[in-house]
């Protein structure tokens, strides 16, 4: 078994992830969870790190496509309704004081 870390291995991983999450309704949950991909994307966006954004472009464009599909699928249901969305924030007791 070839375990090289070259471009082929990276592309195989990307293809496998794409197949697994394509059309998967839990795809957006991966972005909203406080995991490594969430931290990487948000840090790149907040700091406007062009190199990091380019490195993450596959994930960012895939996320954008998923959000667009969700919007299209739900726009009639939410037509005329104002929706406020929040991101959960967890604070330790010492951070509150």
Q: Which helix (H) or strand (E) holds 94?
A: helix 93-96
Q: Is 33 left (phi over 0), alpha (psi -120 to 50) or beta?
A: beta
Report how far apart the first and last C-alpha atoms of the chain are (Å, whole number): 55
Tens-digit pLDDT profile for residues 22-51: 767 676 676 667 777 788 888 888 999 998
Pairwise CA distance, residues 91 & 52, whole Å = 28
Residues 38 and 60: beta-carbon distance below 8 Å:
no
Among 51-55, 65-69, 91-95, where is mean pLDDT lowest? 91-95
Question: pTM score > 0.85 for this model?
Answer: no
């Amino acid at each position: 078994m070839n375990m090289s870390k070259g471009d082929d291995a990276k592309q195989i991983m990307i293809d496998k992830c794409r197949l697994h999450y394509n059309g998967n309704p839990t795809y957006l949950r991966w972005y909203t969870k406080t995991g490594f991909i969430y931290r990487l994307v948000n840090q790149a966006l907040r700091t406007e790190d062009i190199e990091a954004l380019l490195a993450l472009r596959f994930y960012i464009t895939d996320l954008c496509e998923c959000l667009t599909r969700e919007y299209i699928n739900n726009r009639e249901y939410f037509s005329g309704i104002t929706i406020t969305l929040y991101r959960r924030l967890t604070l330790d007791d010492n951070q509150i004081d």
